[in-house]
Amino acid sequence: MKKLLFKIKSNLSNIKADFYPLDLEKQIDQLNLHIEKLNQDKNKLETILNKTKSSLMKQLETSRNLTNKISEQEEYYRIIINYGSDIIMLLDRRGKLFFVSEGVNNLLGYKAEEMVKLTPDAILHPEDVLKFKKVIKECLNSPGENIQFELRLKSIEGEWKNISAYGTNYLENSAVNGILLNLHDITYRNKIENLLVKSEERYRSIVENIPDPVIVHKDGTIYFVNSSAAKMLGSENPEQLIGLKIYQFIHPDFIEIVKKRIEETGRNTGQILSPQELKCISMDGSIINAESIITAITYEGENAFLSIFRDIGERKRIERLHEETEQMLKHDLKTPLNGIIGFSQLLLNHENLSQTNIQEWAATIYNGGKTMLHMINHSLDLFKMEMGKYQLSYEEINLIHLFDELEKELIPLQEEKSIVLIYKVNDDYLKWEENYTVWGQKLHLKTLFANLLKNAIEASPEERGITININYENNYFHEIDIHNWGVIPESVREIFFERYSSAGKSDGSGIGTYSAYLIARTHGGKITFKSFEDDGTHITVFLPKEIFSNSA
């Protein structure tokens, strides 16, 4: 446009220079030409001016749009910075705060303009002041790098807030010109995490210390076991079992049962199946009687199964012992009951009895009944002996009087097989009026000798004598040897004193000798036997001469 104006100006000068020398007509023609050129230049100038105006208007509109967008962006970022959950702070090179987003009011209760007037020491926890200074120094030494740290800030109400923060050095960036801190409140998160940690520790402690074994497994693989489970399975520590297959610890007879229970539990999430008895195998190969319940759970975000076991070996043992005790009791009751029945028959079948006979037999029946009642009232004594928890109540016992009572109670059995019981002391025939003292509990010692004498009568050939010899020459034990002419079968000798062993008798329960063994052991003594074809069988009872101190 400047060139056009210059050209117009030159044309006007030419007109002025050429006006006078030329004749009028030529001057007019020339003037018209110049006027036409001027009009042409004017039109061009107007066109250029219109285009320039249009361009300027467009540039102005663009500028306005850009300004609006910049304002919108500024508003957008202002809202994000001031009302976002994170707090933005800017610090200068010395660590002095010169900008803070308005969201600090929600976090600490301060207004932004109040906050920038505070020094870091005023709101920092005393234990975090040194840490904060180190962070600022690290930011200064590492421009552009994000430095992560945590600290505690005090609110206007005096409450400490846990803060997770990032610090970045933008001092060389003219748009920021400071150390940018991005702060996020993690107070609630820390409380939840602490609660979760405490909860996990509490429940882990409970699970670790409960006596029942606990196993978490998925797809047959063990993920967790507590100490009780490790102990039950014979492991040195729980970690040793992690990753192993649970089925290797299940007895083959019960694997299919366990698999079906797992499938059923998987179909019924949240349901706890009723206890199932099974057998487990420990790492040393021993068999464990157990009871198990199972339920589906979520473990570390995955579906899994929780199995709780209970070692019922002791319960089974107690149940078995209780049953055996009842059997022993029933067995032991037969001896006094036989006496009661036998002497009752004598009273019923004999006429013209003397008063002496009536009193003696009635006394025997009475004593037998008393013995039975006493045995019934103490039915758990043998069970406690088996458990090693029975406490003896010692009394002074005349062993000869005890044998006298048994002699009378066993008369019916003796008469049935025409057998005579012969009593001796150091191989001399004893006199019933003599006194031979031992210490113990009379009821149980009477049961012991009743069982052994009854077994001896049943095992002895008919019309043969059975000798009971008391030997007191042993310095430590009373030896009472019971000899009959029967022979203990070879197949029974190794298990003679075990429960349920029987020397081939069709009606034998194998309880009598085991009961006698328990009583002798509880008294601090023992029982031995010798059996030979040419000499029959010797059962020898050893009872300590001094009181034996037994404990639970």
Domain tally, the chain: 4
Rounded to whole angstroms, the Cα distance separating 469 from 471 reads 6
Alpha helices (runs of H) in 168-274, residue ranges in sequence order:
187-209, 227-232, 255-267
User: Quick one: average pLDDT of 22-48?
Assistant: 76
Average pLDDT over residues 352-380: 76
Mean pLDDT, range 100-119, rounded to an integer: 85
Q: Is residue 197 part of a domain?
A: no
Residue 477 domain flag? yes
Q: Are residues 186 and 120 in the same domain?
A: yes
Mean local confidence (pLDDT), 112-123:
85
405 and 459 belong to one structural domain: yes
Cα angle value 353/354/357 (rounded, 5°): 85
pLDDT, average across residues 461-486:
92
Same domain, 288 and 410: no
Q: Are strands 428-429 and 477-484 parallel, antiparallel or unpaired?
A: unpaired
Name the residue with higher pLDDT: 551 or 512: 512
Q: Report, as an integer, the average pLDDT of 438-442.
A: 92
Residue 1 has pLDDT above 60, yes or no: no
* CATH at residue 503: 3.30.565.10
Query: How confident is the model over 238-251, as a mean pLDDT?
Result: 92
Q: How far is CA 255 from the centre of its chain?
A: 23
SS3 label, residue 532? strand
Same domain, 369 and 497: yes
Task: Say what the pLDDT of residue 480 is.
Answer: 94
* Same domain, yes or no: 274 and 352: no
Give, to the nearest 10 degrees, the angle between helix 313-349 and helix 512-522: 110
Domain boundary among 283, 311, 339: 311
Contact predicate 408/364, CB 8 Å: yes
Q: Give the residue, 256 or 372, on which the prediction is more confident.
A: 256
Residue 162 · residue 185 · CB < 8 Å = yes
Q: For residue 196, tell me if it sits in a domain.
A: no
Q: In this predicted structure, what is the pLDDT of residue 6?
A: 59
Q: Which two tokens stand for residue 375?
A: 């045995």
pLDDT for residue 370: 76
pLDDT band at 552 (very low <50, low <70, confident <90, very high): very low
Q: Are residues 398 and 526 in the same domain?
A: yes
Residue 444 and residue 424: Cα distance in Å, rounded?
A: 22
pLDDT greater at residue 380 or residue 476: 476
Residue 477 sits in the same domain as residue 380:
yes
Indicate whether 74 and 92 sit together in one domain: no
Mean pLDDT of 269-290: 85
pLDDT at 187: 79
* pLDDT computed for residue 174 by the predictor: 84
Q: Calculate what percentage of the chain has a pLDDT beyond 70.
A: 82
State residue 79's pLDDT score: 54
46-65 burial by CB neighbour count: b if 16+ within 10 A, else e? eeeeeeeeeeeeeeeeeeee
Q: What CATH number does the domain containing 92 carry? A: 3.30.450.20
Residue 406 reports pLDDT greater than 80: yes
Band of residue 24 on the pLDDT scale cut at 50, 70, 90 = confident
Q: Which structural domain, as residue segments, surrounds residue 12?
A: 2-80
Residue 551 lies in a domain: no
Residue 327 has pLDDT above 70, yes or no: no
The last residue of one of the domains, among 290, 311, 332, is 311
Q: pLDDT for 83-97, tens place per residue?
A: 555 788 888 988 888
Distance CA 537, CA 528 (A): 11
Same domain, 302 and 240: yes
In a domain, 200, yes or no: no
What tokens were used for 254?
């019960």
pLDDT in tens, 526-536: 999 999 999 99
CB–CB of 243/222 below 8 Å?
Answer: yes
Mean pLDDT of 513-520: 88
d(CA 155, CA 195): 23
The closest alpha carbon to 424, from 471, 477, 457, belongs to: 471
- DSSP character at residue 250: B
* pLDDT of 3 strictly over 50: yes
Q: Which residues contact 501 (CB under 8 A, 6 or more apart)?
A: 492, 495, 510, 513, 514
Q: Is the pLDDT of residue 373 over 80?
A: no
Q: Which of 48-52, 230-234, 325-329 has the lowest average pLDDT?
A: 325-329
CB 242 within 8 A of CB 223: yes
Q: Does residue 306 share a domain with residue 329?
A: no
Give percent of the chain with pLDDT exceeding 90: 23
Q: Is there a single domain that holds both residue 137 and residue 58?
A: no
Task: Find the mean pLDDT for residues 291-300.
Answer: 87
pLDDT at 241: 92
Q: Does 499 score more than 90 pLDDT?
A: no
Is the per-residue pLDDT at 462 higher than 50? Answer: yes
Q: Is residue 60 part of a domain?
A: yes
The residue-averaged pLDDT of 484-489 equals 92
Range 440-447 average pLDDT: 90
Scan for tokens 């299919």, then name that residue: 256
Query: 124 with 265, same domain?
Result: no
What is the DSSP pairing of strand 287-299 with strand 302-311?
Answer: antiparallel
Amino acid 461: pLDDT: 92
- In angstroms, the CA 195 to CA 438 distance is 68
Asked if residue 271 is part of any domain, the answer here is yes
pLDDT at position 15 over 60: no
Max mean pLDDT among 4-13, 48-57, 200-209 falls in 48-57
Does the structure show a pLDDT above 60 at 12? no
Amino acid sitting at position 305: F
Can you give 387-431 as a three-state secondary structure string?
Answer: HCCCCCCCEEEEHHHHHHHHHHHCHHHHHHHCCCEEEEECCEECC
Question: Is 51 part of a structural domain of the chain?
Answer: yes
Query: 280: pLDDT confidence band, cut at 50, 70 and 90?
Result: very high
pLDDT of 359: 83
Question: What are the distances in angstroms from CA 276 to CA 254, 294, 309?
Answer: 10, 9, 9
Question: What mean pLDDT, rounded, does the chain reach?
Answer: 81
**Domain edge (last residue) among 277, 311, 345:** 311
Q: So what's the pLDDT on residue 550? A: 60
